[in-house]
Amino acid sequence: MWLPCPMYGSSNRYRYALGCCRTAMKICYLLESTELSGGVRVVFDHARALGARGHQVIIRAKCGIHDWYPFQISVNYINNLACPFHLDDVPDVVVATFWTTVQPALQLGCKHTFHFCQGYEGDFVEYAQGYADIFQAYQTPIPKITIGSWLQQRLQQIYGKEAFEIHCVGQIVDMETFRPSVLPLRSFLRRLFGLPVRVLIVGSFGPVVKAIGDALYAVALMRACGQRIHLTRVASQPCSPEEDAITSIQSYRKSLSARCLAGVYRNTDLLLASSLQQEGFGLPFAEALASGIPCVATEISSYLSFDTSPDYAVFVPQGSPRQMAEAAINLLRNPLYQMKLRRRGPQVVAKRCRAAMVAQRLERVFVGGGAR
């Protein structure tokens, strides 16, 4: 059953601000699972933003639980993603969100079919055994939707420029939830009273692309230089023994809702973002910027995509804990530079990641049509 997706924001003014499409569409996203992750959160944000423009959006998923998402969302849990819709419920648009959902999307036989890519799975070590299947799924000549030009270039490098259409729509950051503190005094007071600096590292330790070990080694090096640090880790998995072996962790928060995570950001002095080039977007980095948190990040394409001038964070080469530690210490010794980053971060995210802009781009892509 199709229901209008809840509007983006708490009042009707958001609907008028976003503008509404003349012709409402029925749009279905396919997910393997709705368990908490940045990629799933982005799909939910798409649904909200498109719903605010008057479209009917539903998410089909095999399993999971989505009560971690802070807004109402329409999810249909079903064992077979390719199960036919009732005649009156057939979507105008179906969107595969993972390589395993491409064939189910095609089997639905809807008018328009797209493949939404937030990161090329074929580049991830964890999916190495399934590379042949990933390659075949991406070869399917249906239009791809990516979150940035670096992914478009990567797909064209592998499959050629004529293999399929690629549309870059950008990425949504929920700026209602992730916003700077009204009175960011806690960081100042910690500095005034000589309390440990609060450093945050977000992401599960296992995935190679996150390079969480590099960030932890950077903290260990900072401590070896005499820097007092209260380290907070946020991840979707329990803390591993390997993490504790690198450096001590004072607070470990598992599977936080967006609102709880936003509170953690606002009580943080510094974020370390250590991902490697294969990172699709790196939502925690963007959320920290939106929250006005100074960041030291690796100089990878997704992190450098927010502005032509890389003045919104301190960037260091990937795979270099020592350079990350040195940059972090220098930043912590420079309160004026920290203040500049606290102002600049929200500015660049607001410029590139507003829901209204991404929803309009998605709408233009969907109206233009995809392969059947």
User: What is the Cα–Cα distance from 118 to 97, expressed in whole angstroms?
Assistant: 8
User: What is the Cα–Cα distance from 165 to 372, expressed in whole angstroms?
Assistant: 13
β partners of residue 231: 199
What residues contact residue 243 under an 8 Å CB cut-off, 6+ apart?
205, 212, 213, 216, 233, 249
Average pLDDT rounded to a whole number, residues 345-353: 96
pLDDT tops 60 at residue 21: no
Query: Could you give the count of Cα atoms lying within 13 Å of 103 in the half-sphere of its Cβ?
Result: 7
- Distance spanning both ends of the chain, measured CA to CA: 23
**Contact assessment for residue 296 and residue 313, using Cβ atoms and an 8 Å cutoff:** yes
Model pTM score? 0.90
- Which one is the CATH code of 186-352: 3.40.50.2000, 3.40.50.2300, 3.40.50.800, 3.40.50.150? 3.40.50.2000
The single residue listed with the structure tokens 């820097």 is 227
CATH class for the region spanning 13-172+354-368: alpha beta
Helices (H) and strands (E) in the chain, counts: 13, 13
75-128: pLDDT as tens digits = 999 999 999 999 888 999 999 999 999 999 999 999 999 999 999 999 999 999
Confidence of residue 184 (pLDDT cuts 50, 70, 90): low
Average pLDDT rounded to a whole number, residues 37-57: 95
Confidence of residue 181 (pLDDT cuts 50, 70, 90): confident
CATH 3.40.50.2000 in the chain: give the residue spans.
13-172+354-368, 186-352
The single residue listed with the structure tokens 């940045």 is 38
Instruction: Report the candidate in 26, 79, 84 with the shortest Cα–Cα distance to residue 55.
Output: 26
**Contact assessment for residue 20 and residue 54, using Cβ atoms and an 8 Å cutoff:** yes
- Copy the structure tokens of residue 36: 């908490």
**Contact assessment for residue 215 and residue 320, using Cβ atoms and an 8 Å cutoff:** no
- Copy the structure tokens of residue 342: 């606290």
Interior CA angle at 100 toward 254 and 140, to 5°? 140
DSSP state of 81: T
DSSP state of 7: P
User: What is the Cα–Cα distance from 65 to 73, expressed in whole angstroms?
Assistant: 12
Confidence of residue 13 (pLDDT cuts 50, 70, 90): very low
**Contact assessment for residue 78 and residue 62, using Cβ atoms and an 8 Å cutoff:** yes
287-344: pLDDT as tens digits = 999 999 999 999 999 999 999 999 999 999 999 999 999 999 999 999 999 999 999 9
**Contact assessment for residue 147 and residue 326, using Cβ atoms and an 8 Å cutoff:** no
